[in-house]
Structure 1
Amino acid sequence: MQNVFGDHQLDIPFQSIADLLAKYAVRDPMKRAIVDLDQGKEIAFGKLKSVADDIAGHLNALGVGKGDKVLLLSDECVEKLLIWLGIWRLGAVVCPLNIELNSEHLIDLSRLADPKLVLHHKDIDVSQLAADYRCIRFAGWTDGGPADPEDAFFSALPSGTDPASLPERNEPADLACIFCTSGTTSRPKMVVYDHAAYWLSGLSTLDMLGLTEDDRTLEYRSFGWNSAQILSFMPFLEVGCTLHIAKRFSHSRFFEWIQKYGITFSAGVPTVVNMLLNKPLGYTGDDIPTLRLMTCSTAPLSPEQWTKFETMYGIKLLQLYGMSEAGWICGNRHYKWKRGTVGLPAKHQEFAIVDEAGNVCPPGVEGEVTIGGPQTALGTLRDDGSLEPVRGLRTKTGDLAVRDDEGFITVTGRTKDLIIRGGMNISPVEIDNVLMSSDLVFEGAAVGVPDPIYGEEVVCVVVPKRPDVTPEQILEFCKSRLPHAKVPKRVYMAESLPKSDRGKVLRDKLRESLPSLQAMA
């Protein structure tokens, strides 16, 4: 086991799913384990252990064994996580593809995973897979109630499976999951993780957030994404806190959830933070006293947004930074943070900022972020199903960053997004942050466009907060905050910015959309 984790010291020793669930069933049998906010369903730790055993036994009877892959197609619901735990309980591999992918990519990636079994929610059409794979439909799990007539999985579960009949355990070096990166127009990559990487990522999360068994967490993003897996699911498993899930973020219900269930920690993304800032519902910190912490990841958050949010709601906000192939790369800590940065390198990430020659950059010098070590993915799947390795290599992320004298990291942009104006490298993120600090702008982003004199010139696209906002006002604001070379030379107005399904602004698409927008200045 020590070889799998390298020289990383584990604050919580690795335990299998079987052992974790058995421990929590004894420690907290009546405590809520998972709460499905949309369906109004919940399961306690005592029941969770027995259901996971029953699902594992059922899968085993269906021919699934340790190391076999199970494709899991579903929106976010308690049933999805119960099946997930049953798969891991058996030592099998879960493939939770994001159903929001376009159908062509979903089918293509499903075939690349080549599963032993396909389990799909009743609302998911798997007709294109049924000829090649055994597909079983599931609907609602019921705790002793009448079975859903559309269900063909939970209704067939055995009851009271003897754990001794399931000697399998998931070990650190076993394959755990194959999931896809966030896709846009091109086909996403399939990323392969073992249990060691998940365990280390979860420990990195616990170090950043300080979660304990007494926390009640909220996750409303897809568990097909690595971020939701390592921010919410792994800490739930490692400390036995209560996990609340929803299919998606709800602006109107968010604070109601917090009040009703006493949520102490919630996941966050820039879109959610901006929505809560720009469309407040009248709540203050006094109305949500249990919520002590939120995170923001997937895209940089400006210091002004960060400060505004904490002032408005009285909630500590922590910016984190990760990627599918690496898990957490950096993160602000509940005990040590700095606004405008993505925090310190994650506890179990072998992090380095390097120059073009591969040399580590000193503090204050910009370079490219590289990652490595046992917290990273094993690799990604090639088209022939073989593994393109990540683990064991020093992998470039494509992100530019700088470290300050205290060790805090500021992500300055993407190498491919750099605007090179007259030989000057300009990070669009710097301009984005200025735009987002304005009370005139709901959203804004900068891109480079061809220029006959400077090679590239800076322009920006903004979603104004009010219809009476003028481009001249935006330009004047930028001129007061930016040097001349970085001030956008044209302002385009738009109703929205193109984004990935994880909320990242797609600058390539933004640039492509410029001819259809009216340049306002």
Structure 2
Amino acid sequence: MNLSSQLHETAKASAEKIAYYFLDKPCTYAELDGAITKFASGLEKLGVKQGDHIALLLGNSPHFVISLYGALRAGATVIPVNPIYTADEIGYILHNGDVKVVVGLDMMIPLAEKVHSQLPKVEHYIICETEHNGLGQPGVEQLSIYPKVKSFTAVVDSGDLSYQGPELQDEDTALILYTSGTTGKPKGAMLTHKNLFSNAQDVGHYLRMNNDDRVITTLPMFHVFCLTVALNAPLLSGATILIVPKFSPREIFRITKKYEATVFAGVPTMYNFLYQYPDGNAEDLKTFRLCISGGASLPVALLKNFEAKFNVVISEGYGLSEASPVTCFNPLDRPRKPGSIGTSILHVENKVVNELGEEVPVGEVGELIVRGPNVMKGYYKMPEETQAAIKDGWLYTGDMARMDEEGYFYIVDRKKDLIIVGGYNVYPREVEEVIYNHKDVVEVAVLGVPDPNQGEVVSAYVVSKNPDLTSDQLLEYCREHLAKYKVPSTIEFLEELPKNTTGKILRRALKKQVTHTVGN
């Protein structure tokens, strides 16, 4: 069994059940399954074969759901991409990921025109029409990508409901998720059909999802947290998802009341905005049976304040892209421990080890490692990185943790130097490489600094050879080459950066230096 085939079975058993609401418009499981089948068939007619790679540059919408499940049903490998990435970032993923088909909004046309000359393997751009239909804009026919452009609606309409699709194997690669790497270049974590199905099923069971649930899907669908917890697990359980294109407290409160939502999944930043929203009260969220937090550590003070104000329980968990992603959750049948990521979910093992890979005693700190049917098969075209990450079947997360006597895990430190901005991972090296490319920059070091809204924000410390270079100029340069959440919130110019005897920049010393300066 896999995600697509299970949805097909649900559609046969509960044809008229509402699968999702989007902009207050309902869609039944039968309607959704039909669109998925026709899209898969349409892909085949475009020449898509089993194992081909399809990139999705889409936000939260029915287009994403249909494209994801349709591509999987056709036997293709899906590569979700953050649509707010810059042309450089998107171009790298499409090229490295050997993408054959790109599905995106019509607003993507100018970006595609900019990068397509570097992407000879891309044969089709499937454009999802919006109210500002890019396909009808004057001059589009003159663009060099135009012969490769197809309408999403036309692809679906060309498909056949009788389409069966190839037989899928558990170990076939279903998804490639690109994660930022310490080398500055993203790595593609290959997740199989078994990885995705098992984690969605186990998360659904762990959180007791059922066909009466109405799950708010406002986390980005291209992010693995949403994919498993707020999309795949609910659909696997026959639940209804409430698709929110863009998070806003006002919209969350409105949708919750209108549809009596039962489950909300979000990152700490979202909980903070909901808590601060002046018009929100406990009556608004009275239908919630469960709130889920992940993506970054949830401050205990915020957790307690939110629960006291809205009379709901937040269950914090832990995961990473390489594990599809969930490995731990606070259990629903035992006491929730604030500050803990919970216990191992069904079929997944977590343990804390020392540098030799030996399990450490209860309470001691070591590296968290994971084993289970959810662990990736490896990084795409990166065998050395795969061997470093997976040893004897265990995935080494790089996160430092401890376990208490009741089997609850606690993250005590993040991966070295990792910055988490609103639930998104930002590695300093990736930002530094962009800044280093500026002609006036001599040295740069990037750190994460606490922020009440985003959890952390990026801060850059630069040594420049041009005394006239301003932070505004450098920030504008960053905006051209980095996604919005990776752009530094501040850039400070220094005479020199602290280094050790070999010339290596000492981040910890810099952080202490900056903290001391701010404190004084």
- Could you say whether these structures have the same fold, taking a TM-score greater than 0.5 normalized by the shorter chain as the test? yes
1:203 partner amino acid: Q
1:393-427 per-position Cα deviation (integer Å, ceiling 9, x unaligned): 32321211111111111111136359xxxxxxxxx
Aligned to 1:181: 179
Of 279, 283, 291 in structure 2, the residue corresponding to residue 282 of structure 1 is: 279
2:327 is aligned with 1:343: no
Structure 1 residues 312 and 461: CA distance shift in structure 2, 3 A? same
The counterpart of 2:245, out of the listed 227, 230, 247, is 247
- The yes-or-no answer on 1:17 pairing with 2:14 is no
Amino acid at match of 1:238: L
Instruction: Work out the CA distance in 2 between the residues paired with 1:183 and 1:261.
Output: 40
Contact 2:203 2:233 in 1 (8 A): yes
Contact conserved, 2:3 with 2:69, CA < 8 A, in 1?
no
Structure 1 position 118, deviation (Å): 2.0
- Is the 1:16–1:169 Cα contact (8 Å) retained in structure 2? no
Q: How does 1:404-443 map to 2 (within 5 A)?
A: 404-414=404-414, 416=416
* Mapped contact 1:79–1:141 kept (Cα < 8 A): no
User: How is 1:196-215 mapped onto 2 (pairs within 5 angstroms)?
Assistant: 196-215=194-213
2:38 is equivalent to residue 64 of structure 1:
no
Give the Cα separation in 2 of the matches to 1:244 and 1:460.
Answer: 33
Shift of 1:147: 13
1:326-365 paired onto structure 2 within 5 Å:
326=323, 327-336=325-334, 337-365=336-364
Q: Does structure 2 conserve the Cα–Cα contact (< 8 Å) formed by 1:184 and 1:500?
A: no
Contact residue 348 and residue 372 of structure 2 kept, 8 A: yes
Q: Which residue pairs with 2:57 in the alignment?
A: 73
Q: Which residue of 2 aligns with 1:134?
A: 123
1:191, 1:15 → 2: CA distance?
19
Aligned AA (2:238) = G
2: distance between equivalents of 1:275 and 1:510? 33
Gaps spanning 5+ residues in structure 1: where?
1-13, 419-427, 430-458, 466-498
Deviations 1:73-110 (A, max 9, x none): 22221112111111111121111111222321210111
Cα deviation, 1:199-247, whole Å, max 9, x if unaligned, reads: 1211231233211111111122222221111112221332121112223
- Aligned counterparts, 1:89-238, within 5 A: 89-124=73-108, 125-127=111-113, 128-129=115-116, 132=120, 133-140=122-129, 152-158=151-157, 161-163=160-162, 165-181=163-179, 186-238=184-236
Which among 20, 28, 31 is matched to residue 44 of structure 1?
Answer: 28
C-alpha distance in 2 between matches for 1:54 and 1:147: 23
The alpha-carbon distance between structure 1 residues 520 and 387, as it changes in their structure 2 partners (threshold 3 A), is: closer
Contact (CA 8 Å) 1:50, 1:160: kept in 2 or not? Answer: no
> What is the deviation of 1:36?
2.3
AA aligned opposite 1:135: H
Give the match's secondary structure for 1:416. Answer: coil
| Richer in helix (by share) | 2
Q: Partners in 1 of 2:217 and 2:301 — Cα distance?
A: 25
Distance 1:43 1:266 in 2: 20
Deviations 1:132-161 (A, max 9, x none): 12232322499xxx9985771213433672
Matched residue type, 2:85: L
Between 115-124 and 152-161, report the one with greater CA deviation.
Answer: 152-161
Cα distance in structure 1, aligned partners of 2:38 and 2:452: 53
> 1:303-382 counterparts in 2 under 5 A?
303-326=300-323, 327-336=325-334, 337-382=336-381
- The aligned residue for residue 273 of structure 1 is 271
1:257-277 superposed Cα distances (whole Å, 9 cap, x missing partner): 111122111111111122223
CA shift, 1:69, in A, is 1.2
User: Could you tell me how far 1:348 is from its partner in structure 2?
Assistant: 2.7
Residue 178 (structure 1) shift: 0.9
User: Percent identical across equivalent pairs?
Assistant: 24
SS at match of 2:186: coil
Change (3 A) 1:464 1:316: closer
Q: Hey, what's the Cα distance between the residues in 2 that align with 1:55 and 1:386?
A: 37
Question: C-alpha separation between the residues in 1 aligned to 2:285 and 2:406?
Answer: 33
CA contact (8 A) 1:292 1:315 kept: yes
Which amino acid letter does the alignment assign opposite residue 129 of structure 1? H
Q: Distance in 2 between matches of 1:50 and 1:74?
A: 20
- The aligned amino acid for 2:310 is Y
Structure 2 match to 1:395: 395
Q: In the alignment, what sits opposite 1:6?
A: none
Does the 8 A contact of 1:355 with 1:368 survive in 2? yes
Would the aligned equivalents of 1:94 and 1:176 in 2 still touch at CA under 8 Å? Answer: yes
Q: Is the 8 A contact 1:175 1:192 kept in 2?
A: yes
Q: In structure 2, the residue corresponding to 1:338 is in which secondary structure?
A: coil
Quote the residue 2:258 is aligned against: 260
CA deviation string 1:300-347 (max 9, x = no partner)? 123332221111111110011111112212111222222221100222
Gaps of 5+ in 2: 138-149, 421-446, 454-482, 491-505
Partners of 2:516 and 2:405 in 1: how far apart?
A: 43
SS of structure 1 residue aligned to 2:99: coil
* Secondary structure in structure 2 of the residue aligned to 1:138: strand
Q: Could you list the per-position Cα deviations for residues 278-310 of structure 1 after superposition, in whole angstroms to 9, with x for gaps in the alignment?
A: x23233222222112111112112333222111
Quote the residue 2:18 is aligned against: 32
Asked if the contact 1:89/1:169 (under 8 Å) is kept, the reply is: no
Deviations 1:426-469 (A, max 9, x none): xx99xxxxxxxxxxxxxxxxxxxxxxxxxxxxx9966689xxxx
For 2:200, give the aligned amino acid: G
Deviation at 1:57, TM superposition (A): 0.8
Q: 1:502 to 1:411 in 2, by over 3 A?
A: farther
Q: Is the Cα contact below 8 Å between 1:98 and 1:180 reproduced in 2?
A: no
Aligned-partner Cα distance in 1 for 2:401–2:170: 32
With over 3 angstroms needed to count, the CA separation of the structure-2 counterparts of 1:235 and 1:118, relative to structure 1, is same
Aligned to 2:68: 84
- Hey, what does 2:433 align to over in structure 1? none
Runs of 4+ in 1 over 4 A off after TM superposition: 146-151, 182-185, 389-392, 459-465, 499-503, 505-518
Indicate if the aligned counterparts of 2:106 and 2:130 stay in contact, CA closer than 8 A. no
The worse-fitting range, judged by mean Cα deviation, of 182-191 and 315-324 is 182-191
RMSD: 3.7
